[in-house]
Chain A
Amino acid sequence: GAVVSQHPSWVICKSGTSVKIECRSLDFQATTMFWYRQFPKQSLMLMATSNEGSKATYEQGVEKDKFLINHASLTLSTLTVTSAHPEDSSFYICSAQGRVDTEAFFGQGTRLTVV
């Protein structure tokens, strides 16, 4: 399958600071990227959908000013958690979709801990 690289795999930051997470599709062009969040022992919850060159579409209840998403190219999307707080501590996972519908590939995930 295709490779999606997510970086960093884990990060610890102080409350009030911002953290940027990168998601790259290494061997295909990702027309759409999705950002999910997963709390312990819970399933993945979709945060937002981003299409290359356009604004992200956020799910209900997700603050767009807090979770900034940029999808500037067909191989890179970034999620910036601004003014992070301890309740933002979670596992963040990106997924990249190419032009074919048969699969959706996930990055390795980023475990964010806000102290």
Chain B
Amino acid sequence: GQNIDQPTEMTATEGAIVQINCTYQTSGFNGLFWYQQHAGEAPTFLSYNVLDGLEEKGRFSSFLSRSKGYSYLLLKELQMKDSASYLCAVRDNTGRRALTFGSGTRLQVQP
């Protein structure tokens, strides 16, 4: 099975940098995803890591360490519109390719 942990809530200031951590324990691993979800909307894809290291995409970066079962999402130059839930999800390697989601981190960006 899968067990995914991430902080419930975080608060940060507009223009700042915030790091959202995710730890996971899985019986099999085939990639880690980060999604952004605004209230009442479906998740939107942010990043995908399957190998160790940092993936950068504009203001968003995601890091993975498979040996530590650890990932983080880094958001730079925070904007008010970044206030949302951020979901960490892991795909297993059973072949069905479904994602198991963490509980999500609600980020509040303040002026």
Contact = CB atoms under 8 A, between A and B. Distances in A.
A97 B96 CA distance: 10
Main secondary structure of the interface of B (DSSP, over half): loop
Interface stretch (B11-19, B62-70, B98-106): B98-106
Most A CB contacts (10 A, CB to CB) among B42, B50, B91, B97 go to B42
Contacts, number: 56
A6 B41 CA distance: 12
A93 B44 CA distance: 12
B48 A34 contact: no
B68 to A, nearest CB: 22
The 7 lowest CB-CB distance pairs between A and B, nearest first, are A109-B42, A106-B42, A43-B101, A44-B101, A43-B103, A43-B104, A49-B96
Interface of B: 30-31, 33, 35, 40-45, 48, 50, 87, 91, 96-104
